[in-house]
Chains A and B, each alone.
Chain A
Amino acid sequence: EDQVTQSPEALRLQEGESSSLNCSYTVSGLRGLFWYRQDPGKGPEFLFTLYSAGEEKEKERLKATLTKKESFLHITAPKPEDSATYLCAVQESGDYKLSFGAGTTVTVRA
């Protein structure tokens, strides 16, 4: 069974203070690893899909990287509007279902 563990559970940052979120996973064969952002009371918003170790993707202040066992979401010089819960999910080869981690709640103070 797929397992996805995210750390830390919560992260409080000062505006401009860069940091990283971790997502470690166990899956027999990886089709893709996904990062989503979820604001309170809203559905998840798609950020990135990573397919193979060594792959990196960037969007504004966010950069996602992937190894064979984990993924990192780097937030560079965060702003208060980056405050949200960031969810990591894996998709196993041969299936389109997503297994989600518990998420990391990021709070950025001005």
Chain B
Amino acid sequence: GAVVSQHPSRVICKSGTSVKIECRSLDFQATTMFWYRQFPKQSLMLMATSNEGSKATYEQGVEKDKFLINHASLTLSTLTVTSAHPEDSSFYICSARGSLAQNQETQYFGPGTRLLVL
């Protein structure tokens, strides 16, 4: 149980275009979903927290107009990188936490999306 998927697994786009990444909890309802970014040889940095039906809460230094997060249902959250630039190239990982039945403190992570902006 507690499986989280992401799509796509990798994407290459041109500078100035937008890219959407999907995160789904496959076998549980996600009370909260989190989006992280990981640069090579570095640890995970939290970008934002989203609850179903609410606006996302962004961490300090993360541009909310550039990284649009939508959490439309208890099993789906999307991250859209708008007007992507080469410096946005990174590994984007989502996580989800469920209700008490799924050990509500624990975040289960997706496999990640590798974004390369040319």
Contacts and interface: CB of A to CB of B under 8 A. Distances in A.
A42 B111 contact: yes
Nearest to B44: A100
B42 interface: yes
Contact of A43 (B2, B93, B105, B106): B93
A91 B44 contact: no
A87 B44 contact: yes
Given A96-B32, A96-B97, A97-B49, A46 B43 contact: no
Contacts of B114: 41
Interface residues of A, number: 21
A82 B49 CA distance: 31
A77 interface: no
Given A97-B49, A101-B43, A103-B43, A43 B110 contact: yes
Contact of A49 (B49, B91, B106): B106
Interface size class of B (residues with CB under 8 A): 20 to 34
B19 interface: no
A102 B42 contact: yes
Interface stretch (A13-21, A28-36, A52-60): A28-36
A102 B111 contact: no
Contact of A98 (B6, B42, B46, B104): B46
B67 interface: no
A26 to B, nearest CB: 16
Contacts of B46: 97-99
Given A44-B44, A102-B42, A32 B105 contact: yes
B107 interface: yes
B56 to A, nearest CB: 13
Contacts of A43: 4, 6, 93, 95, 109-112
B43 A102 contact: yes
A44 B91 CA distance: 12
Interface in B1-36: 2, 4, 6, 32, 34
Given A44-B44, A97-B49, 9 more contacts: A32-B106, A43-B93, A44-B93, A49-B103, A96-B104, A98-B44, A98-B46, A98-B107, A100-B45
